[in-house]
Amino acid sequence: MSNLVHAVETAGQPQYGVILLHDAAFPVEENLMVPDGAEIAAGRYSLTIRAARVGWHSTVRMELWGGPPPAEESGWSVAEATLPVRAGEEGPAALVLHALTLGEYGDRLELPAPGSYRVRALTRPDEARIQVWRSKTV
């Protein structure tokens, strides 16, 4: 069974029904739209996560796992995607949250190394959880 390595939690600032997550080494891809019927869209170094049920004053928790985390209980909208991450010039490999009109917010989720990571986004009213673990695919 996989273990939780560490987590960061912040007051969420989803705007326009989406949460933007990106590699800290690159700017966010703000024009990355989630297709109809999907919950997540993957760009080159960003993810756009549909979070229509997550409000402005919600909690967003990012978690780094040692492997795939266990399945969540019912009541969550769940989507997964793979995201490449590389070490940034300003520090270690990390993921950051981004609000369309406010920019980066909250603490960065530092990662052990650059590489390919699997991201599971879980949303429900007033809460979002983003689970991250190393992907076996590149």
Domains (ranges, CATH) in the chain? Answer: 4-134 (2.60.34.30)
Contact residues for 110 (Cβ-Cβ < 8 A; gap 6+): 64, 91, 92, 93, 94
pLDDT tens, 39-83? 788 888 888 887 766 555 678 899 999 999 998 778 888 889 999
**pTM given for the model:** 0.84
Question: 40 and 64 in contact (C-beta within 8 Å)?
Answer: no
Rounded Cα gap, residues 87 and 112, in angstroms: 10
Q: Reading across the β-sheet that carries 18-23, which strands appear in turn?
A: 40-42, 46-50, 18-23, 94-99, 103-110
**Backbone angle region of 121, left / alpha / beta, with phi > 0 → left and psi within -120 to 50 → alpha:** beta
State how far the Cα of 84 lies from the Cα of 29, in Å rounded to an integer: 14
- ∠ CA 117-65-96 to the nearest 5 degrees? 55
For 81-119, what is each residue's pLDDT tens digit? 999 898 766 678 999 888 776 767 778 899 998 999 999
Task: Decide which of 102 and 133 is more confident.
Answer: 133
